[in-house]
Amino acid sequence: MATPIRSAPDSPNSSSGRQGRSEARERLLSTASALFYREGIRAVGVERILAEAPATRATFYRHFPSKEDLVLAYLRGVDAHIRADAQAIIEAAPSPADALRTIGTAVADDLAKPEFRGCAFLNAANEYPDPNDPVRQVVLDHRAWYVTTLTKLFAQVFGDSPRRGKPEHAARHFVMMRDGAVTGAHLDGVESVGAAFHRGVEGLLTLLH
């Protein structure tokens, strides 16, 4: 739920998606997505992407007018992938509480994957601090969706309990724990951080209602 472990195309509603799909475009996007996630967006130049895709400069600019367009397509692809996974979890879960637990498990499972390099959106936010930058806006839009999705689930979990907490507070607490887990796992140990995250999620589900 935090990483582009599997390659995903950008949203068909995005500006770059409207340019049409081709094998060359998907190869460029897949190559760039892997490099951006593994090494950082600003560290990877267009020439590197062209060499590894491989593709010509003309082909690149036919599909992506600028590197920024490619970066936006990369992040929109990750966003689409995470939204689809979340929707599948919610639809398959026996209850909202189980959905939240499974979303939490997906986060913890990502920590243990060899290719894990943190959250693609937090990584991008660190590289694009300007709040008006289009890349930053995609990050903020993703996080707003994530909080809204969790808030709806917590609202169903808390229901009419007399000890009912505020769903939006629980959702933001969940996101705060998730952010800490994905940034600190490589420092404090995957197993320790994953276990602490699971305990935190269970606490939100059982102590606030």
Q: Can you give the length of the chain in residues?
A: 209
pLDDT at 161: 75
Residue pair 89/31 in contact (Cβ under 8 Å)? The answer is no
Q: What does the alpha-carbon distance between residue 175 and residue 153 come to, in Å, rounded to a whole number?
A: 13
- Per-residue pLDDT at 207 exceeds 80: no
Radius of gyration of the chain (CA): 18
Give per-residue pLDDT as tens, 12-31. 444 444 444 689 999 999 99
DSSP secondary structure letter of residue 64: -
Percent of the chain with pLDDT over 90: 84
72: how many CB neighbours lie within 10 A of its CB? 21
Of the options 3.50.50.60, 3.20.20.10, 3.30.10.20, 1.10.10.60, the CATH number for the domain spanning 17-65: 1.10.10.60
Segment 22-45 shows an average pLDDT of 97
Contact 63, 25 (CB under 8 A): yes
CATH number given to 66-206: 1.10.357.10
- ∠ CA 75-20-77, rounded to 5°: 15
**Amino acid 168: pLDDT:** 95
Largest CA distance in the chain: 63
Task: Quickly count: other Cβ atoms within 10 Å of residue 130's Cβ.
Answer: 9
CA distance 29 to 2: 19
Q: Do domains 17-65 and 66-206 have the same CATH topology?
A: no
Give the model's pLDDT for residue 10. 46
Could you read off the pLDDT of 81-127 as tens digits, one per residue?
999 999 999 999 999 999 999 999 999 999 999 999 999 999 999 99
H-type helices in the chain, by residue range? 23-39, 46-52, 57-63, 67-92, 96-111, 120-127, 134-158, 167-188, 190-206
User: Residue ranges of the domains in the chain?
Assistant: 17-65, 66-206
pTM: 0.88
Q: What is the pLDDT of residues 127-156, one digit of tens each?
A: 999 999 999 999 999 999 999 999 999 999
